[in-house]
Amino acid sequence: MDFYQLLDSGEGERLEKFGKYVLRRPDPQIIWKRSLQKEEWEKADAVFTSDWDIKNMPREWMVEWEGLKLELKLTPFKHTGIFPEQMSQWQWIRERIAFSGQGLEVLNLFGYTGVASLVAAAAGASVVHVDASRSTIGWARKNQELSGLKDKPIRWILDDTVKFVLREARRGNKYDAVIMDPPVYGHGPEGEVWQFNKSLPVLLEALAKIISDDPKFIIINAYAISTSAYTLGNVLKDLMGDKGKIETGEHLVKQEGSDRILSTGIWGRWSKGI
């Protein structure tokens, strides 16, 4: 069974298949016409408007991706717990760790439900996973158990990201790789405010103090921000200088049976070695 498929898109909505269930979710950037007939859209197992209208599925279910077992949920914010367009990033993380060798220290900031952390740990890295939501960390730990990775070295940290990185700098801890999915807006566990354009430069300045002497890769994923991927390339250039390779791009999903491409976000990454 396919992990994910974009079945159709149009008129402000996506029609998507996560495992065996079809979901219909709003997406205001989709201003083109639908390809499938209305009857196909009406077959969706759940539809999100201001909340989920569940027709023919559980609120929680499981999918598999390349050996990982992941719990998905119909959350109040229309999300499911994964961003499947990041599959290419997960594969890249695994490849980078395999190339760099065992024992890498990886820091995953804004780690959400932990897919990137699990990918890194399964590939042989030691991972520190930081998120400001207690419930989301619980969800990530469940994904670790479902995937049979309880023996892998992952530390789950409930904290404000900037505060945690500053403390790590004072402790003298270093990381060989950093993964981050900073939101547009957010709050830490004690009400700390995150605003992408103001907070990201502060975070990157702090990160410069905890990157090891032989770093391997850095990834920044971003959604719903009014800038291009070149912005992420520019800040990575500020952070890492000319020591490696910088790539930027958009998160893209190809619609099934069509040449239509949906852009869902942007990414920038720095790497050294290949």
Domains and CATH numbers, the chain: 4-73 (2.60.40.1180), 84-271 (3.40.50.150)
Helix (H) or strand (E) holding 92: helix 87-100
Q: Looking at the predicted structure, is the pLDDT value of residue 16 above 90? A: yes
Closest by CA to 188, choosing from 136, 133, 225, 137, is: 133
User: Average model confidence (pLDDT) for the chain?
Assistant: 95
Closest by CA to 261, choosing from 246, 251, 271, is: 251
Residue 101 per-residue DSSP state? -
pLDDT digits (tens, 9 = 90+) for 90-120: 999 999 999 888 789 999 999 999 999 999 9
Q: Are 162 and 196 in contact (CB under 8 A)?
A: no
pLDDT digits (tens, 9 = 90+) for 223-241: 988 889 999 999 999 999 9
Burial class (CB in 10 A: 0-12, 13-18, 19+), 35: middle
| Residue 1, pLDDT score | 47
Q: Which residues, at least 6 apart from 99, have a Cβ–Cβ distance to it below 8 Å? A: 273, 274
State the pTM of this model: 0.95
How far is the C-alpha of 181 from the C-alpha of 110, rounded, in Å? 5
| Residue 224, pLDDT score | 85
Q: What are 246's two structure tokens?
A: 């910088």
Specify the range with the lowest mean pLDDT, choosing from 60-69, 100-109, 117-126.
Answer: 100-109
The b-or-e profile of 135-159 (16+ CB within 10 A means b, else e) is ebbebbbebbebbebeebebebbbb
